[in-house]
Amino acid sequence: MNNVFNVIRHRRSIRKFKHKDIPQKYINKIISAAHLAPSAGNQKNWEFIIIRNNKIKEDLKKAVIDRIDSISLKMNSRHAKNEIISYARYLTFFNEAPVVIAVVAKPYDSLTGRLLKRYEPNVNHVSSAGIQYVAAAIQNFLLAASALRIGSCWMSGPLVAKEKLEEILSIKAPDDLLALIPLGYADKKIKPHTWPKSLDGILREIT
Ligand SMILES: Cc1cc2nc3c(=O)[nH]c(=O)nc-3n(C[C@H](O)[C@H](O)[C@H](O)COP(=O)(O)O)c2cc1C
């Protein structure tokens, strides 16, 4: 399954995992693939934290559940409460995987920002590049995992409890937790994607 188009088609979000560990050499290969992603100025300002420790995984899950509970307590509508509680699994299943990877964005020193600060300090320049490069690294990560037949799921939902998660993982500002990614062998076979029949609505040519 090494053809890149095949790997892209077979990568699916996996939410149920076998109780089977992942050898460290595969994790290293996946992180190495993430590290080859493009980044502005080639700064590669990302960090990956590996969590195998069950107690830490439980603490992370508890932080998310506590946060969901405290949000739902503030809600007046029963329907809204039920909806957020029924969605909770999508924010918390990560701890069922043998390995969880936390993805951290380190501060990004934009070249354009630096030049503007020096020569045009009045120009308000906000760049989204910092998020873009980490997203590229995460996508490399997911594809590499998939090529090794290891299941994963990009999860930003748990960030509802971002502050507490960062405390547990000793992530200190300006570093920024962007995602949790559970890694494990899929519990059951998931259908690969099929190619889109048409690109109407997502591709337009300007002439
Ligand atoms: C930035 C981002 C955040 C996501 N967060 C979650 C999440 O918190 N929980 C979850 O179950 N899936 C999450 N997903 C996975 C999406 O639901 C999934 O990619 C989408 O449904 C398409 O399915 P596929 O990945 O199998 O192609 C996230 C995906 C992205 C790109």
Label residue 30 by pLDDT band (50, 70, 90). Answer: very high
In a domain, 22, yes or no: yes
In a domain, 202, yes or no: no
pLDDT of residue 2: 59
- Per residue in 135-190, pLDDT (tens digit) is 999 999 999 999 999 999 999 999 999 999 999 999 999 999 999 999 999 999 99
Centroid of ligand 1 to alpha carbon of 183 (angstroms): 14
Question: For a substitution probing ligand 1, which of 10, 94, 101, 154 has the most ligand atoms within 8 Å of its CB?
Answer: 154
Domain containing residue 80: 4-184
- Per residue in 36-63, pLDDT (tens digit) is 999 988 999 999 999 999 999 999 999 9
In a domain, 131, yes or no: yes
Centroid of ligand 1 to alpha carbon of 207 (angstroms): 34
Burial of 52 (0-12, 13-18, 19+ CB in 10 A): middle
Label residue 123 by pLDDT band (50, 70, 90). Answer: confident
In a domain, 197, yes or no: no
- CATH number, domain with residue 27: 3.40.109.10
In a domain, 189, yes or no: no
User: Half-sphere exposure (CA, 13 Å, Cβ side) for 93?
Assistant: 16
In a domain, 52, yes or no: yes
In a domain, 32, yes or no: yes
